[in-house]
Structure 1
Amino acid sequence: MRVKDMLPDGNFEVIEAKNGLEGFNLINTEHPNLIMLDFLLPKMSGWEVYQEIQKRPELKAIPLVLMSGRKEEVTEKLPEPFEEFSFIEKPFDQKQLINAIKEAMAKAKKYSQTLPTQSIPGRTVDTTGDPMAAEIVALQSKVNALQGEIEVLRKQMGQLVSFVKQKLK
């Protein structure tokens, strides 16, 4: 709540998670414009969430502010300089938070500009100069992931229907 209260007034929605697993699931479903991640979290640590984010280019392109009260634990796993995210050490004030967010956005923009040209069915999109093109690629990735999940659910539903039919015989 303290971090949420420090954010400047604006027309945006803050989505909060109680633990790392819930947070990672929200990242996957909501595809936020900014991720603020505590390094020490229950169920799935911030380190584990970070590792999962790094595996997926569409998530890696989202600005990330990593925060912790124990910087030494972060630097054990992720040596400085932090190139893919902004780090802020607790406790921090509003000015430090805003600067960390700006830094994270700049780092994410730099990363997005290094993404290669990506193919979307029916056309090719060059993501190196157009932020909208990068967003289109990210959205298409999300659509592809959802289609994969739908296929898995269809298969599971088919198995369930077969099982029920066998039990009814």
Structure 2
Amino acid sequence: MASNKILVIDDTTVVRLKVRQMLPPGNFEVLEAKDGLEGLNFIRQEKPSLIMLDFILPKMSGWEVFQEVQAQPELRKIPLVIMSGSKQEVTEKLTEPFEYFEFLLKPFDKTQLINAIKLAMAKSKKPRSETIPGSAAATQNIPVAASRVPNTIAVPADHQSGNSAEIELMNQKMIKMQAEIDALKKQLTQVVTFIKQKIK
């Protein structure tokens, strides 16, 4: 049985078939969903190794599926490739650079597909300190298994684990570091402005 599952969520049969054919033979199985609702159910039940998500879908849009996935810490670390025939459709909702997922413009070839998958896998390993803007995480109280908690996520208040204090400490350190970075940026801007005035 395949140990890795790749979920392709696209309402076009041709695209799902194309992805299946382009993927190199290996120890994985390809799951297919024809709409966002079916795709989200697959994500929750199967916990795939990689998600390929079309942005425009019936029943539930790719944007809505994305928000649901980002709301749950155990799902949002699954490598994600968002597909669309128009990049603008995606950038209207999600600003570049895409830090935690990869974008794949349709139509695509085998090389572009493989590269997108590799980049998505690399991006999914990046530590996160906060939820994606627009996600439903803030309104949901989702229990998180201690073994699946990344180092830098917000843990629900009722999650009593030895890791909670460490994670909270890391989050505080990251917030402090971000504040220091912002202060340095401000100082740099002031220095540049000062230099420009002197040059004039």
Q: TM-score, normalised by structure 1?
A: 0.68
Q: Which residue of 2 aligns with 1:34?
A: 50
Instruction: Find out whether 1:6 has 2:26 as its counterpart.
Output: no
Q: CA deviation at 1:37?
A: 0.3
The change in CA–CA distance for 1:117 and 1:77 in structure 2 (over 3 A counts) is: closer
User: Equivalent of 2:152, from 107, 115, 127?
Assistant: 115
3-state SS of the aligned residue for 2:100?
coil
1:10 match: secondary structure? coil
**Aligned: 1:82 with 2:119:** no
Shift of 1:111: 3.2
| Secondary structure of the structure 1 residue equivalent to 2:96 | coil
How big is the alpha-carbon RMSD for the aligned residues of Structure 1 and Structure 2? 2.3
Counterpart mapping for 1:115-154 below 5 A: 115=152, 124=163
How many aligned positions are there? 127
Structure 1 ranges of 4+ moved more than 6 A? 117-123
Percent pairwise identity: 61
Residue type matched to 1:44 in 2?
M
SS in 2 for 1:15: strand
2:152 partner amino acid: L
Structure 1 residue 66 displacement after superposition: 0.4
TM-score by length of 2: 0.58
Query: Which residue does 1:91 correspond to in 2?
Result: 107
Tell me how far apart the structure 2 counterparts of residues 8 and 68 of structure 1 sit (CA, whole Å): 22
